[in-house]
Structure 1
Amino acid sequence: MAIVERLRKKFRDLYGQEPIVVAAPGRVNLIGEHTDYNEGFVLPGAVDKRMYVAIASQAEPEITIYANHFEESFSFNPEHALQPVSGWMNYMLGVTHHIKAAGKTIGGAQVLIDGDIPVGAGMSSSAALCSAYGFALNELFNLGLSRMELAFIGQKTEHTFVGVKCGIMDQFASLHGKSGHVMKLDCRSLEYEYIPFDFPDHKIVLVNSMVTHSLAGSEYNVRRQQCEEGVSIIKKTYHNINSLRDVNLQMLQEHQHLISPVVYDRCWYVVTEKDRLLNGCDALQHGDLEAFGKLMIATHNGLSKQYAVSCTQLDFLAERAGYIKGVAGSRMMGGGFGGCTINIVQTEMVDTFKQQIQHAFEQLFQVTPEVYITQIEDGTHVVNSEVYH
């Protein structure tokens, strides 16, 4: 792969030695949105857009990192107390800090980072960067950390060094991905199983609404509070429930007269999304992409109307995709208020889909949406240049 060979050459030019190269993928989530913090299920898959970390040891007790994308370098002593700074360096500082906090010893290293995950497209480039760097340190210094331990280290880094209170899905998916499969992750127990997503005649196509997630942070917290409010009311009758994961539609409907219409809508979406995800896994296990696509459309409608986290551009993209031949399903993906739609499109129709969706969007919004064509691939791994393809 050209990017890996470029990375190796750049590393040799910078540091004069041969590196280990680790690739960590971005992720998509096929169905199960805003279910993670309600202790439900999610269904992510790792994709063929990746962050890369090239690494080699050095005698000096220092970690030197060069970010190819920014053409910036940064050095620090891993033995010293590490504090957040500003910018991309926080991901490396945080991962180093939390690996040390786990009782592991890190020596000096030379590092080069690069990648081809589009930033801001909702494919979790930051989680992939943490995964790649943590995995690279684990390999170089034989630290013996498991993939799940590395996922938690990435999550803690986001919480403490970056200030984003994310769930575990992004890091989990980047580290545990498997080609031809998505992962049904139980956000309560962290148990997971691989679900086949083996449709070689289809691609996963993301279309960027070109709207930034300006409301996502504050509104995300409001949605959490609304879900918790619904749970607190239902819990007075059903004492054993702890989250919307434990609530079924009948329970919710019994309490409709006690819950404000807005909170009821929020809870209704989460409870029905839980069922959609389980039905979606069943459809995939039976190879029924048509049924899965209908569930994706229902998810979008719920996110737009009951959960109210969509926007005009996302609604347009999801609806317009339904009129294009070869599209099995389409919905907004991620926290909302911007970002991408995720579409499952027949491979032979991808070019037509791209042309039609861009043209229609351009006419209405006077901007060309970016389109990313992906497929489900393996999770974080060491790249062997001789066999990688």
Structure 2
Amino acid sequence: MDAAELKGKFAEAFGYDEGIRIFFAPGRVNFIGEHTDYNGGYVLPAALTFGTWAAASTREDGIYRFRSTNFDTKVESDVSEMIYKKEDDWANYPKGVLRELIQLAGPENSKHYHGADILYHGNIPNGAGLSSSASIELVTGLALSKLAGIDIPMIELVKLAQRAENHFVGVNCGIMDQFAVGMGKEGQAMALKCDTLEYDYMPVKIDGYKLVITNTNKQRGLADSKYNVRRRECEQGLEMIKTVIPHVKSLGDVSFEVWEKVRHVIKDPVIGRRVEHVIMENERVLAAMRVLERNDLNEFGALMIQKHESLRDLYEVTGAELDTLFDEASKVEGCIGTCMTGAGFGGCTVSLVKDDEVDTFKERVAEKYTAKTGLVPTFYICEIGDGATEKLKEEKQSRF
């Protein structure tokens, strides 16, 4: 589908074809730094070149109509009635963003949010752990604020989108997904400290290799998973550490050297494993930043492998499907790094594979994975792209 086709779908959905603007927000992949974001640590994500497009046009009657080419559910809400409804399914994400936009605008400017029709089209696999929810949130925030004539800095849209997911949808996520989707740059990963939002762009030069994302095709929803349980376990671990180091604000501020001195205060072995993963994962992000600076892809791949092993053994969020993909990918010559990406409990792995080994990689991993799990994986050859943006008329439109 290209921009003209998306506008045609918009016309089919809403009955008119005037005043349509096109917006885009990518999905994201996280190389290193899993489950460190809500612990105030470092992450190393990158935006992708696939994501969510939105065709949108203003209304004057205070009604917002949400449609999607990917889902059958159609939702219509008055601007004064943005409340969570289970039956609204995916549309709760844009509704939550709109509510946050109105609250941010305040009484003086909220009148500018006087209705819109918006049609979404995404090519991020739903539930794959590539941030389809953050993609929908950021494309909605950008589109509806622009239609209202209100310019909001991207970093504020990022924070707003996180609030919508936390408070409206009910997923207690950190800010990494929204940040990567909103602030991404082509060819670069982002080294982000999630509690302070200090960040730097790190060029990812993978000449001779491809980024291969492999979808387990095991569906999972974050709100229904053990994601929130893991967060509570980390909070409990931090409180235990605070009994001996009261000034520590987050696990992301605890170095490995300090952890070695205070680990004895955590008597619960499960909580101890969770905390150890977060602290060691934080160290891996810092190491990955140094590795990217000297363009050492083999060492970067080794850090990806260590990441997956920690998520499997200490944080316990991988599961049979992700572990099978990891095991089989690791056996293929030419794959120098592989790990789960996203929250886990299903979703995807990301692998660094030599150009001339990609076909062999896909064939062997698929054969072994299907034999062991009964599921058929999907492979995506990916590039690192830009963050959320409006697709202006003069821009060359690619197919999506």
Q: CA RMSD in A?
A: 2.1
* Aligned mates of 1:63, 1:8 — CA distance in 2: 18
Whether the 8 Å contact between 2:225 and 2:345 is mirrored in structure 1 is: no
Tell me, yes or no, if structure 1 residue 205 matches structure 2 residue 212: yes
Whether the 8 Å contact between 1:12 and 1:18 is mirrored in structure 2 is: no
Matches of residues 159-238 of structure 1 in structure 2 within 5 Å? 159-213=166-220, 217=224, 219-238=226-245
Identity rate of aligned residues, in percent? 37
Tell me, yes or no, if structure 1 residue 139 matches structure 2 residue 157: no
Tell me, yes or no, if structure 1 residue 70 matches structure 2 residue 71: yes
> CA deviation digits over 1:204-231, x for unaligned, max 9?
2222223334798553333333333333
Closer/same/farther in 2, CA of residues 374 and 385 from structure 1, 3 Å limit? farther
Deviation at 1:233, TM superposition (A): 3.1
> CA deviation digits over 1:68-94, x for unaligned, max 9?
22345433332x242122312212222
Tell me, yes or no, if structure 1 residue 352 matches structure 2 residue 363: no
Aligned with 1:363 (options 371, 374, 378): 371
Closer/same/farther in 2, CA of residues 165 and 237 from structure 1, 3 Å limit? closer
Matches of residues 1-389 of structure 1 in structure 2 within 5 Å? 2-13=1-12, 14-78=15-79, 80-85=80-85, 86=87, 87-103=89-105, 104=109, 105-213=112-220, 217=224, 219-260=226-267, 261-386=269-394, 387-389=396-398
* Aligned mates of 1:100, 1:170 — CA distance in 2: 22
The letter of the residue matching 2:177 is D
Q: TM-score, normalised by structure 1?
A: 0.93
Aligned length: 387
Whether the 8 Å contact between 1:290 and 1:328 is mirrored in structure 2 is: yes
Secondary structure, aligned partner of 1:44: strand
> CA deviation digits over 1:306-362, x for unaligned, max 9?
222221222221122122122121011222222211112223322221111101112
* Aligned mates of 1:322, 1:341 — CA distance in 2: 11
The letter of the residue matching 1:82 is M
Whether the 8 Å contact between 2:129 and 2:341 is mirrored in structure 1 is: yes
Secondary structure, aligned partner of 2:32: coil
Closer/same/farther in 2, CA of residues 65 and 360 from structure 1, 3 Å limit? same
* Aligned mates of 1:258, 1:139 — CA distance in 2: 51
Secondary structure, aligned partner of 1:336: coil
Whether the 8 Å contact between 2:129 and 2:344 is mirrored in structure 1 is: no
The letter of the residue matching 1:117 is I
State which drifts further: 249-258 or 320-329. 249-258
State which drifts further: 210-219 or 45-54. 210-219
Whether the 8 Å contact between 1:31 and 1:296 is mirrored in structure 2 is: yes
Deviation at 1:46, TM superposition (A): 0.7
* Aligned mates of 2:240, 2:49 — CA distance in 1: 44
Deviation at 1:282, TM superposition (A): 1.1
Closer/same/farther in 2, CA of residues 59 and 231 from structure 1, 3 Å limit? closer
Q: TM-score, normalised by structure 2?
A: 0.90
Closer/same/farther in 2, CA of residues 66 and 233 from structure 1, 3 Å limit? closer
State which drifts further: 97-106 or 8-17. 8-17
Whether the 8 Å contact between 2:38 and 2:175 is mirrored in structure 1 is: no
Closer/same/farther in 2, CA of residues 219 and 95 from structure 1, 3 Å limit? closer
Secondary structure, aligned partner of 1:148: helix
Deviation at 1:292, TM superposition (A): 0.5
Whether the 8 Å contact between 1:234 and 1:251 is mirrored in structure 2 is: no
The letter of the residue matching 2:143 is A
Whether the 8 Å contact between 1:62 and 1:76 is mirrored in structure 2 is: yes
* Aligned mates of 2:91, 2:231 — CA distance in 1: 30
Whether the 8 Å contact between 1:5 and 1:385 is mirrored in structure 2 is: no
Closer/same/farther in 2, CA of residues 384 and 350 from structure 1, 3 Å limit? farther
* Aligned mates of 2:151, 2:292 — CA distance in 1: 34
The letter of the residue matching 1:8 is K
Unaligned runs of 5+ in 1: none
> CA deviation digits over 1:94-114, x for unaligned, max 9?
222111111232123222211
The letter of the residue matching 2:24 is A
